[in-house]
Copies of this chain bind each other. A is one copy, B any other.
Amino acid sequence: MREKVYIGLDIGGTNLKASPISSGGEVLGRVHRPSPGTTGAGGTGGADEGYTEIRTTLSALVESAAGGKPIAGIGIGCAGVLSGDRRAILDSPNLRGFEGFPLRAFLEETFGVPTLLENDANAVALGEGWRGAGTGARTLVVVTLGTGVGTGFILDGEVWRGGAGMGSEGGHTTIDPQGPPCRCGNLGCLEAFVGAYGILRRFREAGQASGLAPGPDLGVQEIADAARMGDALAADVLRDTGRFLGVGFANFANLFNPKKIVVTGGISRAGDALLDPARDEMKRRAFPAVTESLEVLPGRLGDDAGPLGAVYPLIGEGD
């Protein structure tokens, strides 16, 4: 019985990833496959038709991750709006092929084990709270910086999923009513400032203003690297990114009074070059009584946070 593994699944638009995880929370490996394209989604109907490629790919991936060991349970993290009972993906721009697919029912029937489905930002928050930088914080905010900006709020030990289960979108809170356009259609969302496209936009604008013309294929990681190597323009953009992030942190601090704010994802690897300006800005804006006991930390688990968080409730409840 000790040999059983949990499978943490990460369903993304580009790749499906799976990690076998011990009941003690050790990540024992990582496998991945290309995501079934929308072309392969098959039928549009109910639970019993279509989705052939999804079924085949998921089965093979889970079996590959388990590596012959018995499976104790499967936890799934994915982007998008989940159904109210969290059994399927209702709406996800990058996962059109999965919409309506009875994800949990399929895995439960195929492998005969309990499954859970969680929003990816919440899964990351649960993972960092369990085994990462968020341990010991019953109230915890985890911000995942990528193309988009995901937020997971653990409130007094419980992940907050929104009153009707629509999730909790801290990346889409307005921090400047006349700010730049956000992918969601709003102006001035936190994401429009600190999501990858917001950072790149500001870098391009600053470059043009100073007579430079950064290449079109520049990524946020290159900006962070350039800042570390002494590039003044990149350092300015990184520092400003930290400040905007700090405005968001101040809002989360005054609303949630958390013990920790943990930052993960691409640009967060810049570390204190990003987080120090964020901490300063947060302290300038939020209540001192709230910030004096609040730590802002980089995540510790990298890509393992999501799979760990996705299986955590299964292990917590079932072991």
Q: Are A259 and B164 closer than 8 Å at their CB atoms?
A: yes
Nearest chain B residue, comparing its CB with the CB of A138: B163
The residues of B that contact A244 with a CB separation of less than 8 Å are 177
Q: Are A164 and B139 closer than 8 Å at their CB atoms?
A: yes
Q: Are B250 and A186 closer than 8 Å at their CB atoms?
A: yes
8 Å CB contact of A166 from B167, B170, B187, B257 = B257
Q: Are B257 and A167 closer than 8 Å at their CB atoms?
A: yes
8 Å CB contact of A174 from B162, B251, B257 = B251
Q: Are A258 and B174 closer than 8 Å at their CB atoms?
A: no
Number of A interface residues in the complex (CB < 8 A): 45
Tell which of A71-79, A196-204, A281-289 binds the partner.
A281-289
The residues of B that contact A250 with a CB separation of less than 8 Å are 173-174, 186
Q: A91 on the interface (CB 8 Å rule)? A: yes
Nearest chain B residue, comparing its CB with the CB of A173: B251
8 Å CB contact of A175 from B139, B155, B156, B177 = B177
Q: With A and B bound together, what is the CA distance between A48 and B247 in angstroms?
A: 44
Q: How many copies does the complex hold?
A: 2
The residues of B that contact A286 with a CB separation of less than 8 Å are 172, 186
A242–chain B nearest beta-carbon distance, Å: 13
Interface positions of A from 193 to 228, Cβ below 8 Å from B: none
Interface positions of A from 232 to 281, Cβ below 8 Å from B: 244, 247, 250-251, 254-259
Q: A155-B160, A175-B175, A259-B164 are in contact. Are A284 and B186 (CB under 8 A)?
A: yes
A291–chain B nearest beta-carbon distance, Å: 10
Q: Are A163 and B173 closer than 8 Å at their CB atoms?
A: no
Q: A176 on the interface (CB 8 Å rule)? A: yes
The residues of B that contact A53 with a CB separation of less than 8 Å are none
Nearest chain B residue, comparing its CB with the CB of A289: B166
Q: With A and B bound together, what is the CA distance between A162 and B175 in angstroms?
A: 21
Q: With A and B bound together, what is the CA distance between A137 and B162 in angstroms?
A: 13
Q: Are B173 and A176 closer than 8 Å at their CB atoms?
A: no
Shortest 9 CB-CB distances between A and B: which pairs? Answer: A139-B163, A162-B257, A173-B251, A166-B257, A169-B254, A163-B257, A186-B285, A172-B254, A163-B258
Q: List 10 A-B contacts (CB under 8 A).
A: A138-B163, A139-B164, A162-B255, A168-B257, A169-B255, A170-B254, A173-B254, A173-B255, A174-B247, A177-B247
